[in-house]
């Protein structure tokens, strides 16, 4: 398993005193693009947040680049794009400031040098927002803000990209930019783990789909077998309380 970039073995986690991950096994090998699918509340976000250390695990093992997560320190190799709903801070900042924050893991919080400024500019070019560099992020559309978050993750030139629902609530034009950006990253050798509620426009890029149900893996294989998750209800989407209970899984 020397080429495992992410490896979870029998991982359990609790939130609010309730067990939400019931023994997750998941591997992402170097250069692979793995999609984590499943209904609302199935544990997708909790799984990726456990990988980056935002959710404490109560059992099992997590390794990054072959190193146990507990002792892993090389965070500049990892780019994380949070779910946009949890990332909106309401703090006024320019596009450049937000993206520069993604470079801090490389500068080790020291002064920015030319290479750092170039990396920030390049990341903004990749997501098509170089012309908005000086604008406040508050002036951006949801899709543009999502592109800023992705540029922030790319600014450190990570080998592993972890993205939580990068397409959620994103307009079609931005979706296309995101798909193109991701394709370039993958072509450049990046490894990707992303949470999706449906395969959508990213499907051609995905090597493997892992479907969760109630905190357990119920499918791990080619994306064709996973299908799109029509039963997922996104928090941004209007939702009728009278809707039937949805499982989000292929029957
Ligand atoms: N901070 C929290 N405290 C208590 N329970 C939580 C918390 N965050 C999530 N949960 C619960 O943990 C379970 C897994 O949630 P998680 O966000 O990982 O699911 P998800 O598959 O990412 O769903 P979604 O598609 O809605 O984002 C759900 O039952 C959720 O209600």
Cross-strand partners of 29: 4
Write the secondary structure of 12-49 as one string of H (helix), E (strand) and C (coil).
EEEECCEEEEEEEEEEEECCCEEEEEECCCCCHHHHHH
* Centre of ligand 1 from the C-alpha of residue 23, in Å: 16
Predicted ipTM of the assembly: 0.93
The domain locations on the chain are 4-226
Question: pLDDT by residue for the chain (251 residues), tens digit each?
Answer: 558 999 999 999 999 999 999 999 999 999 999 999 999 999 999 999 999 998 999 999 999 999 999 999 998 899 998 887 655 556 678 999 999 988 887 777 677 788 889 999 999 999 999 999 999 988 888 888 889 999 999 998 999 999 999 888 788 888 888 899 999 999 999 999 999 988 888 889 999 999 999 999 999 998 886 654 444 544 444 333 333 333 334 43
Cα distances (Å, whole numbers) of residue 214 to 12, 22, 198, 227: 12, 8, 17, 18
Q: How far is the CA of 195 from the centre of ligand 1 (A)?
A: 13
Number of H helices, E strands in the chain: 8, 10
What is the distance in A from the centroid of ligand 1 to the CA of 1? 30
What is the CATH architecture of 4-226?
A: 3-Layer(aba) Sandwich (3.40)
Query: Is 20's C-beta closer than 6 angstroms to any atom of ligand 1?
Result: yes
Six-digit token string for 150: 């992705």
Tell me how far the alpha carbon of residue 160 lies from the centroid of ligand 1, in angstroms: 23
Give the separation between CA 157 and CA 159, rounded to whole angstroms.
7
Of ligand 1's listed atoms, the one at least distance from the Cα of 47 is: 18
84 close to ligand 1 (CB < 6 Angstrom):
no
Best residue among 15, 39, 55, 166 to mutate for probing ligand 1's pocket (most ligand atoms within 8 Å of CB) is 15
Report the C-alpha gap between 228 and 197 in whole angstroms.
8
């Amino acid at each position: 398993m020397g080429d495992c970039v992410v490896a979870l073995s029998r991982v359990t986690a609790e939130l609010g005193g309730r067990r939400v991950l019931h023994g997750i096994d998941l591997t992402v090998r170097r250069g692979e693009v793995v999609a984590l699918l499943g209904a609302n509340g199935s544990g997708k976000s909790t799984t990726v947040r456990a990988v980056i250390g935002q959710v404490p695990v109560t059992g099992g093992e997590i390794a990054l680049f072959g190193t146990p997560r507990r002792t892993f320190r090389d965070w500049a190799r990892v780019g994380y794009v949070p779910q946009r709903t949890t990332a909106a801070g309401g703090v006024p900042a320019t596009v450049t400031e937000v993206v520069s924050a993604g470079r801090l893991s490389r500068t080790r919080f020291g002064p920015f040098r030319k290479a750092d400024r170039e990396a920030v500019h390049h990341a903004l070019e990749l997501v098509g927002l170089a012309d908005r560099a000086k604008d406040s992020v508050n002036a951006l559309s949801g899709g543009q803000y999502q592109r800023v978050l992705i540029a922030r993750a790319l600014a450190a030139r990570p080998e592993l990209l972890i993205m939580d629902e990068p397409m959620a609530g994103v307009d079609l034009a931005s979706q296309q930019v995101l798909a193109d950006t991701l394709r370039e990253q993958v072509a450049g050798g990046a490894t990707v783990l992303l949470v999706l509620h449906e395969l959508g426009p990213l499907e051609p890029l995905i090597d493997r789909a892992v479907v969760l149900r109630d905190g357990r893996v119920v499918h791990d294989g080619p994306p064709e077998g996973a299908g799109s998750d029509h039963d997922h209800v996104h928090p941004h989407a209007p939702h009728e309380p009278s809707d039937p209970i949805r499982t989000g899984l292929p029957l």
